[in-house]
Chains A and B, each alone.
Chain A
Amino acid sequence: MEDLGAAFGLALELMAAGDPELVGIVRLSLAVSLTAVAIACLLGMPLGALLASVPFRGRGAAIVFLDALMGLPPVVVGLFVYILLSNAGPLGALRLLYTPAAMILAQTILVTPIVAALSRELLAGLQEEYADQLRSLGIGPWRAIPTLLWEGRFGLATAALAGFGRAIAEVGAVMIVGGNIKHATRVMTTAIALETSKGEIALALALGLVLLALALFVTGAAALLRETAARLAHA
């Protein structure tokens, strides 16, 4: 229990002090996860819209498969990317292993199915709602994709946030492909794992609280953005 109290004190201290090492770790965490989520949105949202709008043989199976991919274990994704990027692997020549780029790749693979599946869920509802209108305007299922994405933009922010939550909290994949190298690939979650393994429980917990604050800041900013944008749109 004393660890818990000490952790709160330490967390406040850490954030107040602005220790350059911690700032570097926070920056890298945000850069990696936000980039991964941005790429995942670019890929996943159109994919979700396509699955929501365009009927094709095997669509049901594709949707089930996509939903299942939401449960991909980060460690497995990490291993897959490791095998891909290892010097002995097919993409070894790119020399990306143990770099932030490798971490972004792993998190993108992890997050894209989440963004796509949640987007599809949301846009399928919209598609039903607008089906008559779209038909009367002569808009086919393919051309409806941008319309659906635009009309669903506020809801889609939630899909992006869910993806971000997964990415920023994930440790298994970035540990394997990043290597938790000090000043190079150490992020919040791998730093927490490291401090735990040193037995520095209070410090590990404190870093966890900093991570929580970070997630709160990002989701809060997103909520504010969405609200303001919605107000402007309806004004």
Chain B
Amino acid sequence: MNRLLLALLPLLLAMPAAPARAGADVIVLQSTTSTRNSGLLDHLLPKFTARTGIEVRVVAVGTGQALKNARNGDGDALLVHARARELAFVAEGYGVLRCDVMYNDFVIVGPADDPAGIAGMRDAPAAFARIAAAGAIFVSRGDDSGTHVKERSLWRLAGIDPAAGAADWYREAGAGMGATLNIAAGMEGYTLTDRASWIAFANKRNLALLVEGDPRLFNQYGVILVNPARHPAVNFAAAKAFRDWLVGPEGQAAIAAFRVKGQQLFFPNADCGRAAQGPFQRTRPRPSGS
């Protein structure tokens, strides 16, 4: 009996001391599921840490939630993909020093037998309209993520408001990309996904890539720093080092070199110019020693 006790006690005693969240060398990055689940961050972060000694802790949620968490000061930097939202976040003074980082694209996937007949189309809103007309199941993220924002903009372009009526073909999952793909695979439904999540996803079952190549499916990722003037506790210097590395030659090359199943998933296009800041930026970054 004593031996058992002895075996269990260390577990209690070895309770990890709460590591300081924002020590000199640790930052929290609020990011999205696509960058984590595809393996991109696992590929990038060790290189950054080796270069700078800064540890990056990733909280991967939808873009909407990432922005909300950052608004509360829970995080030092963001890597997200909903440009209009990001610019609003900066304009409202919550974020500073936004840069475009990289892009890829969204694709429409669905059952291989394609009941709505959209395979090969290059007009995404028209494909959405056809899915609606056929009453084929469409699984929406429904979680205010970057992908959900893009999906709603495509429905608007198609002149359809699927969430308004009691459309029984339109299913809001309220879940991350992977969970939504699992549901689409299970229900034989259509869904919109970023290409990185799609290629890395391992449970495709009967799902196939049906629509791609519409310029409106463009998916821009951006990096933003949480404004130290609003949240003095953020680790601004380390977060800025991360942003600078990400948009610098080394980070951009590492993004381009990342492959899953032989395919490049993200394409570097760093831009920290005025356009990346949005037209309304009022808040200028201040030194972190406030």
Contact = CB atoms under 8 A, between A and B. Distances in A.
B50 interface: no
B59 interface: yes
A120 B170 CA distance: 48
A86 B72 CA distance: 7
B245 to A, nearest CB: 19
B73 A86 contact: yes
B12 A34 contact: yes
Interface residues of B, number: 42
A88 B69 CA distance: 10
Given A87-B73, A179-B59, A228 B1 contact: yes
Contact of A28 (B16, B176, B202, B233): B16
Contacts of B59: 98, 179-181
Interface stretch (B104-112, B128-136, B177-185): B177-185
B217 interface: no
Interface string A95-112: 111111110100000000
A89 interface: yes
A191 to B, nearest CB: 13
A90 B212 CA distance: 47
Contact of A198 (B18, B73, B202): B202
Interface of B: 1, 4-5, 7-8, 11-12, 14-16, 18-22, 28, 33, 37, 42, 57-60, 69, 71-74, 176-179, 181-182, 185, 200-204, 231, 233
18 contacts: A27-B14, A32-B15, A34-B11, A92-B233, A93-B233, A99-B18, A184-B57, A196-B178, A196-B179, A197-B176, A198-B37, A198-B202, A199-B178, A199-B181, A199-B182, A221-B4, A224-B4, A229-B1
Which 10 A-B pairs give the minimum distances between C-beta atoms? Answer: A197-B178, A199-B203, A87-B73, A101-B18, A179-B59, A199-B202, A228-B1, A88-B72, A99-B18, A199-B201
Given A28-B16, A198-B37, A199-B201, 5 more contacts: A86-B72, A199-B181, A201-B202, A218-B8, A224-B1
